[in-house]
Amino acid sequence: MVESIVSTGVAIGCIYALIGITYNVMFSASRVFSFTAGTLGMLGGVLGSLFIARMDMPVVVGFLLVLAAGALFGIVTEIVAVRPVLKSLDQHLYVLSTLALALIVQQFTAIEWSTEPQPFPRLLNIARGGFDQQFWLPMLACAAVIVGLELLYRHTLVGHAFLAIAEDNFAARALGLPERSLRMTSYALAGVIGALAGFAGGEMLLAYFGNAPMLTFYGFVPVALGGMGSNRGAVVAGLLLGLFQQTANFLVGGVFASVAVFTVFIIVLLARPEGLAGAAFQRRV
């Protein structure tokens, strides 16, 4: 039982964490919570199945095409759903615009792909076993993204520029940073991470249009728990969420597992509204 809780819990937690990071990367660049994050995860699974299982492409080619499609969808999100509402952030119109785009893509997928879950291909031709690739692939993807983002943000000029616009958009622009290009690049990067989450977790979640709202919802929990904009917080909270959810599945099961997850979620937010790793908000006076 413990083995099953850990392998499935950590794997699904890694997928939640990656979707949480997807939210954060878009948020850092624009102060917008784009609800297309779960849609990106869904597209990772559906497009992976489309390219590799249905169109018989090699796994590597299919994988790269999925990441490219994720980047493209990220850029389209920025242009269509985020840029037009940036001037009125205080009205939170982005909630409507990003949700609308997410719903359009979700329904289009349902019509053109299938309303039934479709099989996701085995990515590596190795025998199924206890600690299977469906569990360790999401963990590997999560580790790769954490390391990659650390290297990007800490050791590259572009990464420093990302941090600058995340820290203070106006000051960064005053210093001559190309804010719009950086924002689009951030959305493309978020698209890649979101699609990677769905691709790595494809075998576990299947290629199913209905994964979009599920990932949008459960992917947001690590963001809220971990602190908005904090990738480290999202990873820790995502893993905890996955483990806790799986433990609740074993201990109480059925719909009560979801009730247990959200009870803890509410308790944590009541005790620490800024999230586990977030800084308390200070208002300038």
Partner 1 sequence: MSMTRRQALKSAAAAAIAGGLAKPAIAANGPILVGYLPALTGPSSSTGVGINRGIQLAVQEINAAGGIDGRQIELITRDTQSDPTKAVNGAAELTRGQKVSVVFGPVNSGESLAVVPLLARTNTPQVHPCWVDSLTDPQKYPMCFRNAPTSQQIGAAANRYVVEVLKRKKVAVISDTTGYGTASVNAYVPMLKAKGAEVVYQGNVDAANPDLKPELLRMQSAGTEAIMPWSVNAGFLSRIINTRGDMGWDVPIVGQTTLGSGQTKALLVKPEYWAKVYPNNFRPVCYATDGKLSGRTSAFVDRLKSAKIDMGDTLLWWIAVGYDTPRMIAEAMKNVGTEPEQVVGYLNKLKGFPGVYGDISFAPDQHNGYPDNEVVMVEANSLRDGAFNLAPGYSA
Identity of the residue, 81 or 239, whose beta carbon is nearer to partner 1 in the bound complex: 239
Q: Which of residues 125-144 bind partner 1 (CB under 8 A)?
A: 128
Q: Which of 262, 270, 242 is nearest to 4 (CA)?
A: 242
Q: Which of residues 81-110 bind partner 1 (CB under 8 A)?
A: 110
CB atoms within 10 A of CB 103: 15
Could you say which DSSP state residue 77 is in?
Answer: H
Q: What gap in Å lies between CA 47 and CA 195, rounded to an integer?
A: 9
- Per CB under 8 A, does 210 bind partner 1? yes
Select the residue interacting with partner 1 from 152, 258, 260, 269 (CB under 8 A).
258
Select the residue interacting with partner 1 from 206, 260, 264, 268 (CB under 8 A).
206
Q: What gap in Å lies between CA 182 and CA 174, rounded to an integer?
A: 14
Identity of the residue, 94 or 208, whose beta carbon is nearer to partner 1 in the bound complex: 208
Length of the chain: 285
- Per CB under 8 A, does 117 bind partner 1? yes
Burial 60-78 (b: 16+ CB within 10 A, else e): eebbebbbebbbebbebbb
- Per CB under 8 A, does 119 bind partner 1? yes
- Per CB under 8 A, does 260 bind partner 1? no
Q: What gap in Å lies between CA 107 and CA 109, rounded to an integer?
A: 5
Three-class SS of residue 118? Answer: strand
Select the residue interacting with partner 1 from 86, 118, 179, 260 (CB under 8 A).
118
- Per CB under 8 A, does 72 bind partner 1? no
Positions that interact with partner 1 (CB under 8 A): 1, 4, 8, 12, 110-111, 115-119, 128, 204-206, 208, 210-211, 214, 246, 249-250, 253-255, 257-258
